[in-house]
Amino acid sequence: MPLDPDRLGGLTRSESGPGGQTFAVRRVRGSDKSYRCPGCDQIVAPGTPHVVAWPTEHLLGAQAGLDDRRHWHAACWQARERRRPTR
């Protein structure tokens, strides 16, 4: 059976995120909800393909890390290392 590129986009992978922390990252096609992107503080509109990322290690455990997931515009996630620290 040939690989389906659309399904491969939904695989979770590990990437370095803001602050050098390791994040689980998944590209999604979009959803029925809107989200606020932490990269630009703008809305990720419903139905917009985007990136969902969450820390792989969390002080309160794996479920807390998953609960901390954030929805990023794909371009904002790509530019995350160029972002100025907020603190």
pLDDT tens-digit map of 7-45: 445 788 888 877 778 888 999 998 899 999 999 999 999
Question: CA–CA separation, 81 vs 40, rounded Å?
Answer: 13
Give me the domain span that covers residue 34. 5-82
Is 10 among the domain residues?
A: yes
- DSSP code per residue over 33-45: S-EE-TTTS-EE-
Q: How many domains does the chain have?
A: 1
**Whether 73 contacts 42, CB under 8 Å:** yes
Determine the pLDDT at residue 52. 93
Is 87 among the domain residues?
A: no
Determine the pLDDT at residue 39. 94
Model-level pTM?
0.74
Instruction: Give the full edge-to-edge strand order of the sheet including 22-28.
Output: 13-16, 22-28, 50-55, 70-72
Predicted confidence band of residue 3 (pLDDT cuts 50, 70, 90): very low
